[in-house]
Amino acid sequence: MNLHFLDISIVLLYLLVTIFIGFWISKKASKGLNSYFLGDNEIKWYYLGLSNASGMFDISGTMWTVTILFVYGLKSAWIPWLWPVWNQVFIMIFLAIWLRRSNVMTGAQWITSRFGDATGGRLSHIIVTIFAVISVFGFIAYFFVGIGKFATIFFPWDLSFSVAGLTIASEEAYALVIMGITTLYVIKGGMYSVVLTEVLQFVIMTISCLVIGYIAFTSVSAEQVTNAVPPGWGDLFFGWELGLDWTGYLDSVNQKIESDGFELIGYLVMMMIFKGIFASLAGPVPSYDMQRVLSTRTPAEAAKMSGLTILVLFFPRYLMIAGFTVLSLVYLLPEFQAMGANVDFELVLPLAIERFVPIGFKGLLLAGLLAAFMGTFAAFINAAPAYIVNDLYKKYINPNASNRRYIRMSYLSSLVLVVIGVIAGFFAESINSLTLWITSALYGGYAAANVLKWIWWRFNGYGYFFGMLGGLLASTFIPGLYPDTAAIYIFPHILLASFAGCILGTFLTQPDDIEVLKKFYRDTRPWGFWKPVIEKIRVEDPDFKPNQSFAIDMLNVVIGIVWQMTLVVMPIYLIIKSMRDFSIALVIFVVTSILLKKLWYDKLDGQCYP
């Protein structure tokens, strides 16, 4: 594809601006680790919310979401429950408050506040740091595959080369260049540059989403969409089976559905709910999302930041996703039919941009999508070194080093993480395979130990260590035993292995120090099975009030999931011009917004005690 000079200029200008921001703000970021990784806890919550939304607006995920909407229609709105996307609702309602009360820098440091600094606590601290680093490797590989595929369609230069007998394809070279630029500005500017550039990126992406939504809305009629897709494509709800037959429309889609393993969608959604409850209660994994929570000024602002992320992310993002999908269905279907069985569905998004976006706006959109990629990638590259430097190097190797040395170690850690993640990316099969492994296998190994850490006083550091170790080993080896099975279906096996490690590690060792448990509960106040600890605290403080908000929190979670789902389906209904369904979703959005305002937002300050 040959981009117009104007489009190329817009993209290059954006890249130069982001590098400038990183260097410009580097002095402020290099004052110390708290400045570098948390922005000194002085960044406004709404900036962090926009930054967090930008970080979730990644290009690989957008390509994947366009693909599943193209293939599965409205039922694709359920498939992101694989992550699950509604873990953000759990964070918004109560987990952000619990996390922020800890006043720590990383998720691994938080573990020390829960299990103490004895042997069990140190083991749990090390294992969660290892998990954080492994998950970053997986995500870097995921980003590497997505940005390479995306860039080769748009940029006209062939960047392929050979070095030491190894041939680097053009898409791999593009990925290396773009990831290198992102790494540069993140290393220099830390959290300050990440947030500042991500707010800029969010503005660019929102404008791009509105433009694409407008183009699709004005270019395609409801009848054209109906004629392009099989019966049932526009239905949100489902039975046990998917019930979509693309024969005569685009036969290769049937093969895609079979290879994904999503034909039994009723069973799939049940598995996603089962997995999602555990994954959501576990809290955010130790990455950029948790880093945003810990960067806020107060627990109340942490909750507001998480809520704003949901509110501003889903509608504009799905407006663009629906726009590109509908344009592709109506105008590119003959081209896909000509490809026969060799259709690469992950190219739906790039091809739609190439064909339907006008000059000027194309450059803006490409800059926006690069911004989305760079924002997500930058967030991971800022978060992960905190675990290496703060939780390994500072804690165990060199606790008395200067701030300058810690910052330099952060630079080195970022580079090493990127290099290893990129190497993993060379061996990745596709965006879809990486998505399923990360969401269902790797996160499956995280869930059990991290649910129990909140709700059960007897669960100790050894239990956490062996539970996480069992989960990591299971998520590494069990998928290989079922090569033809989608990762979501083997989640229970991974969860069981992790729970076994948790229970054995806990009951074969002594409970944690009661003073550590008392301090943790006073600071964090989760609900759950904490009665022995609460009784000990009340001996010293008879007026102490434990958390009794379980029922209202769960009610707000259910309301929040419905609220979030309306933000997904409303833009899709709007683009396909299903106005009756759009109106119903809009009414539900308004009602759930009012309920959340009364039952959650208005009570935040009272719940967010120090």
Residue 571, preceding bond cis, omega within 30 degrees?
A: no
Distance of alpha carbon 483 from the chain centroid: 25
Distance of alpha carbon 435 from the chain centroid: 11
**Distance between CA 343 and CA 415 in Å, rounded?**
35
CATH code at position 315 = 1.20.1730.10
Determine, yes or no, domain membership for 377: yes
Determine, yes or no, domain membership for 383: yes
**Distance between CA 555 and CA 94 in Å, rounded?**
12
CB neighbourhood size of 6 (10 A): 14
Range of the domain at 389: 5-239+300-429
Q: Are 189 and 23 in contact (CB under 8 A)?
A: yes
Structure tokens at 456: 């059960």
> What pLDDT, on a 0 to 100 scale, did the predictor assign at position 416?
81
Which class for 237: exposed (0-12), middle (13-18), buried (19 or more C-beta within 10 A)? exposed
DSSP state of 201: H
Determine, yes or no, domain membership for 534: no
**Distance between CA 471 and CA 479 in Å, rounded?**
12
**Distance between CA 338 and CA 36 in Å, rounded?**
52
Which class for 36: exposed (0-12), middle (13-18), buried (19 or more C-beta within 10 A)? buried
Determine, yes or no, domain membership for 583: no
Question: In this predicted model, what pLDDT tens digit does every residue of 136-174 receive, in sequence order?
Answer: 777 777 677 767 767 777 676 778 877 766 778 787 788
**Distance between CA 324 and CA 109 in Å, rounded?**
42
Question: In this predicted model, what pLDDT tens digit does every residue of 534-583 receive, in sequence order?
Answer: 999 999 999 998 999 999 999 999 999 999 999 999 999 999 999 999 99
Structure tokens at 507: 């009951």
> What pLDDT, on a 0 to 100 scale, did the predictor assign at position 491?
81
Which residues, in sequence order, are CB contacts of 72 under 8 Å at separation 6+?
A: 79, 233, 242, 244, 257, 262
Residue 511, preceding bond cis, omega within 30 degrees?
A: no
**Distance between CA 55 and CA 201 in Å, rounded?**
9
Low-confidence ranges of the chain (pLDDT < 70): 1-2, 18-19, 21-42, 55, 58-60, 105-108, 142, 146, 149, 154, 156, 164-165, 184-197, 285-289, 341, 346, 371-376, 378-380, 382-384, 386, 424-444, 486-487, 606-610
Per the structure, the count of domains in the chain is: 1
Q: Are 494 and 448 in contact (CB under 8 A)?
A: no
Of the candidates 253, 232, 228, the one whose C-alpha atom is nearest the C-alpha of residue 244 is 232
Of the candidates 340, 367, 336, 370, the one whose C-alpha atom is nearest the C-alpha of residue 351 is 336
> What pLDDT, on a 0 to 100 scale, did the predictor assign at position 288?
59
> What pLDDT, on a 0 to 100 scale, did the predictor assign at position 572?
96
Residues 77-91 as b/e (b if ≥16 CB within 10 A, e otherwise) read: bbbbbbbbbbbbbbb
Determine, yes or no, domain membership for 425: yes
Rg (CA), the chain: 24
pTM, 2 dp: 0.81
Determine, yes or no, domain membership for 395: yes
Determine, yes or no, domain membership for 504: no
DSSP state of 161: E
> What pLDDT, on a 0 to 100 scale, did the predictor assign at position 107?
64
With residue 37 as reference, give the H or E element that holds it. Answer: helix 33-38
State phi, psi for 195 to the nearest 5 degrees. -65, -45
> What pLDDT, on a 0 to 100 scale, did the predictor assign at position 594?
97
**Distance between CA 307 and CA 303 in Å, rounded?**
6
Size (the chain), residues = 610
Determine, yes or no, domain membership for 182: yes
CB neighbourhood size of 402 (10 A): 10
> 161 - beta bridge partners?
168
Ranges of H-type helices in 282-389? 288-295, 299-331, 333-338, 348-356, 361-388
**Distance between CA 85 and CA 563 in Å, rounded?**
12
> What pLDDT, on a 0 to 100 scale, did the predictor assign at position 69?
93
